[in-house]
A and B are shown apart, each in its own frame.
Chain A
Amino acid sequence: MAKRVLAVDDSATVRASVRMVLEQAGYEVELAANGEDALKKIDMAAERFHLLITDLNMPRLDGIGLIRAVRSNPAYRFTPILMLTTESQAEKKEEGKKAGATGWIVKPFQPEQLIAVIRKVMKI
């Protein structure tokens, strides 16, 4: 069964990019435009997501807020969460790590690179 991934980004082009790359690699992809939208998708999902990929700067609820909310859900305590952002400041990365992010990818990324990171954090 295909692994389920929730990709969160306010940019339509990034959402399209992530979807293309992941679906090409055989993943089942769900998209959300911001943190609030993502939390709704998680609540409504019939099956748990195996991985979350989120941007940092988003309207309504940003990536850090989303990670904090997701980590408070016992079902997602150990789910890998990757930050995919243009932000590379150490301060932000520390904030992300403290919130519960599994990894930090600074855009732009290469398709095969994203897949390699996912396989590593999902241990597959």
Chain B
Amino acid sequence: MLVAIACFCLGFAAGIGFVFLYGRKKDEMRKEDGSIEKPGAPERPDVATEEDVIRVNPTEAREFFTTFRDALSLVESVIGEAHREAGEAGERWAAAVGEMVERANAGLRRLQKTIGELASGQETGSAGLVDEARRTARVLVDSSRSAVAEFIASGDSYLEMMQGIQADRFRSIAERIRGILRQTNLVAINAEIEAAHLGEMGRGLGVIAGEVMKLSAMIGDSVKAIDETAGMVEEKLRQFASEISAKAENAAHLCEDSDRLLGEYLAELEVRTGDIVAGLKGSGEEIDSILESLGKIVDALQFQDISYQKIRNALSILQDVRSELDGVLDNLNKGGMKAVDRRLFEGFKRKYTMRAERLHHELTTGQKCLDERRVGRVYEELGENVELF
């Protein structure tokens, strides 16, 4: 497109230059000869006749070509810059996209390698992490098992102690009572025998012997009750011991189950964590690089758009110039010269959409074009190109 624009401008310049030079040549010939040579019929009806050319005011023509040259210089500088920026933007775009594709491919290759390693069971990247978790879990399980075992042992010894204390105590009391009972019975029997020997005189002793026998029977009943109570207490203790043992056994079983489940969980975790860690390892760097590429792509896309706008605006100016030149040439063909002055540039100002264009205009024409007064507030953290209202 730029080549076409350049060819168009050069074509116009050559055409106008030819008409001007042709006019000057004819003008000079008239001065040398002192007479005017009548030309024949023109080959092209739209080409100015010799008389028409002679009537052109050289001053106006010079002003015209000066303006024309400045306009072309302006357009040339704008299009030249746009051309360069478009080229750079294209290169940046291509580089950014290429980089992104390369990194994406690198990520894919790594992913493929990871999948291959996982499939072949060679992956060891997460072994450390999982082993550490397994060791920690094992310590917890072992501690729990140990605690249960200690609880069971402590319970057993406590029960044994309690049973021993209770049994000894009851046995001791019962034996002592039985001893008293034996002694009492012996005393009663002896008293009864002595009372029989004494006859009437031993009647009181016989009464005492009878009471002692009654007491002995009562003691015997008490011993029986104590034995029954002791038996009941021992039975209760046995039940308690049995329940405690059962609960301890249950806790041990639960502990074993937990150990087994934990082992299965850890095995699963090892596979899954290994998969994730290996997948992320290295891929993270690729993802970061892709994100960095995002900024470059955004930058390239924007510069492409800016360059596009500049070319579009320059084309619009070229169209104005062409229209103006068309009018001038039309007048030239009719033997006149349309006055062209630097007011032509005033119309260009409406075409600009960005700072660079206005700067070029100021530098080329000397006309004030740029007004960058702040309208809103500028925040340092947001950048100089941002104003908030």
Point out residues on A near B: beta carbons under 8 Å.
11, 13-14, 16-17, 20-21, 24, 56-57, 85-91, 93-94, 96-97, 101-113, 116-117, 120-121
Q: Which chain B residue lies CB-closest to A24?
A: B294
User: At the interface, yes or no: B226 with Cβ under 8 Å from chain A?
Assistant: no
Q: Are B308 and A105 in contact (CB under 8 A)?
A: no
Checking B291, B370, B389 against A102 with a beta-carbon cut-off of 8 angstroms, the contacting residue is B389
Checking B304, B308, B379 against A120 with a beta-carbon cut-off of 8 angstroms, the contacting residue is B379
Number of A-B contacts (CB under 8 A): 102
User: At the interface, yes or no: B385 with Cβ under 8 Å from chain A?
Assistant: yes
Q: Are B371 and A108 in contact (CB under 8 A)?
A: no
User: Shortest distance in angstroms between B304's beta carbon and chain A's nearest beta carbon?
Assistant: 5
The 3 tightest CB contacts between A and B, nearest first, are A90-B373, A93-B375, A13-B301
Q: Are B387 and A103 in contact (CB under 8 A)?
A: yes
Given A86-B354, A88-B355, A109-B385, output 14 extra A-B contacts at Cβ < 8 Å.
A13-B304, A13-B305, A24-B294, A86-B355, A90-B372, A91-B371, A104-B376, A106-B386, A108-B299, A108-B302, A110-B299, A116-B381, A117-B382, A120-B379
Q: Are A97 and B301 in contact (CB under 8 A)?
A: no
Q: Are A116 and B382 in contact (CB under 8 A)?
A: yes
Q: Are A113 and B302 in contact (CB under 8 A)?
A: no
Bound-state CA distance A107–B381 (Å) is 17
Point out residues on B near A: beta carbons under 8 Å.
291, 294-295, 297-299, 301-306, 308-309, 353-355, 358, 370-376, 379, 381-383, 385-389
Q: Are A121 and B308 in contact (CB under 8 A)?
A: no
Contacts of B297 in A (CB 8 A): 17, 20
Q: Are B371 and A90 in contact (CB under 8 A)?
A: yes
Q: Which chain A residue lies CB-closest to B310?
A: A86
Bound-state CA distance A94–B310 (Å) is 23
Q: Are B302 and A13 in contact (CB under 8 A)?
A: yes
Checking A20, A108, A109, A116 against B294 with a beta-carbon cut-off of 8 angstroms, the contacting residue is A20
Q: Are A20 and B354 in contact (CB under 8 A)?
A: no
21 A-B residue pairs with Cβ-Cβ distance under 8 Å, sorted by A, are A11-B305, A14-B301, A17-B298, A20-B297, A86-B306, A86-B309, A86-B353, A88-B355, A90-B372, A90-B375, A97-B375, A103-B376, A103-B386, A104-B387, A106-B386, A108-B306, A110-B299, A111-B298, A113-B383, A117-B382, A117-B388
User: Shortest distance in angstroms between B382's beta carbon and chain A's nearest beta carbon?
Assistant: 5
Q: Which chain B residue lies CB-closest to A88?
A: B355
Q: Are B386 and A107 in contact (CB under 8 A)?
A: no
**Given A120-B379, A121-B388: A87 in contact with B354 (beta carbons within 8 A):** yes
Contacts of B355 in A (CB 8 A): 86, 88, 106
Bound-state CA distance A43–B386 (Å) is 29
User: Shortest distance in angstroms between A88's beta carbon and chain B's nearest beta carbon?
Assistant: 5
Contacts of A94 in B (CB 8 A): 375
User: Shortest distance in angstroms between A106's beta carbon and chain B's nearest beta carbon?
Assistant: 4
Q: Are B389 and A120 in contact (CB under 8 A)?
A: no
Q: Which chain B residue lies CB-closest to A14?
A: B305
Bound-state CA distance A107–B303 (Å) is 9
